[in-house]
Amino acid sequence: MKKKIGFIDLFIDEWHANNYPNWITQSSLGTAFEVAYAWEERSQVNGRTLQQWCADMKVEPCASLEELIEKSDCICVLAPSNPEVHERLSDMALRSGKPVYVDKPFAPDYAAARRMQKLAEQHQTPLMSSSALRYSVELMALNKLPGQVQHFVCTGGGGNFPEYAIHQIEMVVAAMGTGIEAVTVHGGSQYLNASLHYADQRLAGIAYSPAFAFSFSAVGKEQSLLNQGCSKIFENLIEHILQFFNSSQSPIDWRETAEIAACLHALVEGMHKPGQRIALQKTC
């Protein structure tokens, strides 16, 4: 019997919820999992209602969070454009003891990230969150090379920097690990460069424009990779989510997820203070 996945969303008719079910079916674990239940807090203006979406997707609508959590074997908290609601939408799921995946960005700041992580720990709830860019074929290949990455530069696009910066931060932390102590931002909302300063003097750079594709170059002590694209990101993300649901073991250290949230908050602050060094806030 397939394990049942429940979707919790701010509004269900959005790009991730519309595409994840098909990608789950197409994955190597597609015979073991299915999206079976869905709940939304409200319907999006001009979007499908929960009942309409569920009818189209052949998913059972739930009248409450309690119903969805009780029926589901594992849970996805989506709302990918609204990290400020993740703590509220995930609260009950994080008390369930069932594996919970929270879509990117995990949280709007470090304090919210740690509250969610501590709640999950208290209730022994397996928890995972990630940008799909962590799982590009090229970035995973970089992680297999010997030696520490010394310098990492990536590009990225998307509709707006505060929402899409998560992808580049996730790439940096996946490649270089934790230890970012401050950021410096230059430019405006359409064309932006930022430096991520590590405590050990290593440096990462991100460049954003709505027209940019996601790519990276990396310099290591022993080997470098230049002009790497980012392919098969969603296919690989779905595989890792389902493996997490199977094992109840997150492949991502909680400290990385918390630092990514702190870095995102600092970068957004830095957009309004160009050229200033903004320290990451890593306290609750």
pLDDT of residue 221: 78
**Residue 243 CA: distances (Å) to CA of 19, 40, 96, 209:** 18, 25, 19, 33
Tokens 């460069």, located at residue = 193
pLDDT of residue 145: 83
pLDDT of residue 283: 81
Question: Considering all CA atoms of the chain, what is the largest pairwise distance in Å, rounded to the nearest integer?
Answer: 56
**Residue 3 CA: distances (Å) to CA of 30, 99, 146, 276:** 10, 12, 38, 49
| Tokens linked to 205 | 């750079």
Query: What is the distance between the alpha carbons of residues 257 and 168, in angstroms, rounded to a whole number?
Result: 13
pLDDT of residue 96: 98
DSSP class of 100: E
How many residues does this entry show for the chain? 284
DSSP class of 84: G
Alpha helices, DSSP H, located in the chain:
15-26, 50-57, 65-71, 86-90, 110-122, 137-142, 161-176, 233-247, 254-271
Residues in CB range of 226: below 8 A, 6 or more apart: 217
Walk me through the domains of the chain, giving residue ranges and CATH numbers: 3-130+235-252 (3.40.50.720), 132-230+263-279 (3.30.360.10)
Q: What is the pTM of this model?
A: 0.96
**How many CB atoms are located within 10 Å of the residue 147 CB?**
9
Q: Would you call the peptide bond into 108 cis, given omega within 30 degrees of 0 as the criterion?
A: no
Contact 39, 71 (CB under 8 A): no
Q: pLDDT below 70 — which residues of the chain?
A: 284
Q: Give the three-class secondary structure for 149.
A: strand
Query: What is the distance between the alpha carbons of residues 103 and 15, in angstroms, rounded to a whole number?
Result: 12
pLDDT of residue 146: 83
Contact 59, 31 (CB under 8 A): no
Query: What is the distance between the alpha carbons of residues 267 and 62, in angstroms, rounded to a whole number?
Result: 37
